Structure 1
Amino acid sequence: MLIAGAYAVDLVLTDLRGPVSAGAEVWADGLDMVPGGAFTLAMGLHRLGRQAVWAADFGTDVFSREVLAAARQEGMDEAGFRHHPRPVRNVTVALSNAKDRAMIAHEDPVTARPLAELIDTFRPSVVMLPFLQFGPDATDALEMAARHGARVFMDCQDHPGHIGMDDVRKALGQVDVFAPNESEALRVTGAGTVEEALSLLCELVPTVVIKRGPAGAVAATNGLRTAQASLAVPVVDTTGAGDCFNVGFVHRWIDGSPLNDCLAAGVACGAAAVTGPGSRNALYAPELTTWLTRLPH
C-alpha cells in the first residue's frame, strides 16, 4: 500500500474556556503535540497490521524530528522517506472543543515526488491519497495506478475543486473510493443534502463514502446504499478522526469485505480517535475488534 502525503505536527489546544474571536485572548486548559497529516494514515494502518509505504519529506527542523521519532517508535517502513538539509516544517494549530475544531496551518514549500513516479517505483496494490487531487499530473498518476492494477482511495480535505470542473470529474472517475466528510461533500457537489451529494458523486465514482462525524457515515456502491451510526464517546479532540476513519475503512476494503463492514470499521476507528488528542488513540487490531462490538446495529 502507498500513502502519498505530507506529515503534520498537530498542536492541539483543548478545553477552551470560551469562543475564539478576533482581538480576544482565550485560554485552553489542554495542550498536546502529536504527529498528524498523512502520518496518521500510515501509522494507523501499521497498527492494524498492514504493510504501507508512506512517501513523505522531512527536514532538519524540530517538527520533522518529532514525526520521524514517532514513526520509528511505531516501527513504520521508511522506504518512502526523503530527507532534506533544511527545515521542512508542517504545523497545524488545532483549537478543539467537543463538537468541532478550527485549524491554522503552516507548510514550508517542498516539491513532493511525483505521484506517478511513486506508483511506478513501489507498485502498490492500493494507493491512499489524503486530499482531492486533479489536473494533468493527477490524471497521469491515476492512469499509472490503473495500468499497475492498483486501487485508489481518495479523501477530499479542504482543497479547492468541485464537480463542475472537468478536471475534477475526470479525476473522480479514475478513483475507486472517494471519501469526503459531510461539509466537503456538499461543497464539492453544490448539493443541499447529504443524500443528494451521495447521488451526484455516485455518478462519477464506483464507491462513495461520506463521513458525518458523531452521526456516523453513509456510503454507496453499485446502487447499494448503507449507513452506520456512531456511538456516544467522550470527545477530547476531533482532529485525527477523519483520517482514522479512512484507516479503518481501507483496512476492511482491501480484503474485499462488504461495504457495511468497511463502514463499521471506519466509524469504530473514528470514534476511538476522538477520545484522545490527534491520532494518539488510533486502534490496534485487537482493539478494533472490541470497538466493533460496541457499535449500534
Structure 2
Amino acid sequence: MGIADVRCEVLVAGAYFADLIFRDLPRAPAAGRETFAGGFEMLPGGAFNPAVALHRLGNDVVWATDFGEDEFSRYVLAGARAAGLDESGFRYHQGPLRSVTVALSDAGDRAMVSFQDPMTPRPLHELVRVYRPKVLVLPELRHGPGVAETLRVVRDSGTSIFMDCQDVPVTLETATVREVLSHVDVFAPNLDEARRLTGAATADDAATLLGELVDTVLIKRGEQGALALRAEGRFAVPAVPVRVVDTTGSGDCFNAGFVHGILADWDLPRCLAAAVACGSAAATSPGSGGAPDAEQLSAWLAKVGPISSS
C-alpha cells in the first residue's frame, strides 16, 4: 500500500459506550450497602475515547462504529459530532443499540459494569479496504475463528495493527489467542490484564512472554508508569504525578499518545513518553476530557520523568 493509497491516518474500529461515571467514592461498594459518590458524569466512552484523543492531537481519524435509535446512541453521537469527528465510519440501525457502562472510580482505579445489545460489527477487512489506514486501532483483544486470518490480510495490505486488551477473559492458552497476537504490531494490556493473559507474576516477565508473539509490547502500570518491549530494547517511563480525578479514559488516551508517536515517526522511547503523557493528562478529568491537543502534549512531555532502558 503506497502513501497515495492512504485515505486516513488512523481507523479506530470499536463500539461506542455511554459511560456513567461515579467518582470520588469514599469506600469500595459492597453488597447490601449504599455508597454516595463525590461526583458524577455521563460521558461518551468506549472507542470514542481513543478516536477523540487522536483527533485532538491533530491526526486524521475515522471511527467505525454503530448507533441505534436509543438514548445512549443519540447521546454519544451528539458528542462525536460536537468533537468534530469524521462521521463517514458511522452506521445507523433501526431500534435500540444500547452500549452503557457504569464506572465506579476512585483515586486508585475503577470497577465497571457494562451492557451491550447484540450487534455484528462491520468486517475489519472491509473497513481497511475502504479507508486504507496507516494504523488500525482495535480497543479490545479480538479472538476466535477467522480473526487471525483477517488480521494477516490487514497487515499484508500495509496497515499496522495496534490492539488493546480490555479485560477480555482469555489467556495465551485460549484457542486462537497466540495466533491472533502473532499478527499484531503493538499490543497494550494493563498490568493486571498482562498477568492474567500470560500467568506471569511481574510486568517484566509478562512483557517477555508477549514479546515472543508481538513486535512491540506495552504494559500500562498506572501510578508506576509504563514499559515497552521491542527487539531493540526494554524501556520504562514513570507516570506524571497528577491529582487523579478519574482513570476511566486514561488507558485509551495512553493508546492515542503512542499511535500519535508512530504516525510522527518517533522512536520507541519517545512514543512511550507520549503515551504516558496522554494517559496522565486524561486522569485529571473525567473520561477523555483531559486528553491533550498537540500543543498541550508538548507541555505534558516536558513533565515526563527520565526514560530507563535495559
Q: TM-score, normalised by structure 2?
A: 0.93
User: Cα offset for 1:199?
Assistant: 0.6
Q: For 1:268 and 1:285, how far apart are their aligned partners in 2?
A: 11
2:122 equivalent to 1:113: yes
Q: For 2:77 and 2:61, how far apart are their aligned partners in 1?
A: 16
Q: Is the 8 A contact 1:4 1:128 kept in 2?
A: yes
1:222 to 226, 231, 245: 231
Q: For 1:291 and 1:43, how far apart are their aligned partners in 2?
A: 18
Partner residue, 2:65 = 56
Q: 3-state SS of the aligned residue for 1:91?
A: strand
Q: Amino acid of the residue matched to residue 47 of structure 2?
A: A
Show structure 2 runs of 5+ residues with no match.
1-9
Q: Is the 8 A contact 1:115 1:138 kept in 2?
A: no
Q: For 2:192 and 2:27, how far apart are their aligned partners in 1?
A: 24
Show structure 1 runs of 5+ residues with no match.
none
Q: 3-state SS of the aligned residue for 2:118?
A: coil
User: Cα offset for 1:79?
Assistant: 0.8
2:282 equivalent to 1:269: no
1:157 to 142, 166, 174: 166
Q: For 2:26 and 2:188, how far apart are their aligned partners in 1?
A: 33
Structure 1 residues 188-247: Cα deviation after superposition (integer angstroms, max 9, x where no partner): 101011111011011111110000011100001114000100121101111100000000
Structural mapping, 1:55-204, within 5 Å: 55-204=64-213
2:255 equivalent to 1:246: yes
The list of structure 1 runs, each at least 4 consecutive aligned residues, that deviate by more than 3 angstroms after superposition, is: none
Structure 1 residues 109-153: Cα deviation after superposition (integer angstroms, max 9, x where no partner): 111111122112222111101011122331232122123111000
Q: 3-state SS of the aligned residue for 1:266?
A: helix
How many corresponding residue pairs?
297
Partner residue, 2:3 = none
Q: Amino acid of the residue matched to residue 231 of structure 2?
A: N
Between 1:193-202 and 1:109-118, the stretch displaced more is 109-118
Q: TM-score, normalised by structure 1?
A: 0.97
Q: Amino acid of the residue matched to residue 145 of structure 1?
A: V
Q: Amino acid of the residue matched to residue 152 of structure 1?
A: I
Q: For 1:9 and 1:287, how far apart are their aligned partners in 2?
A: 26
Partner residue, 1:255 = 264
Q: For 1:103 and 1:129, how far apart are their aligned partners in 2?
A: 20
Q: For 2:24 and 2:162, how far apart are their aligned partners in 1?
A: 34
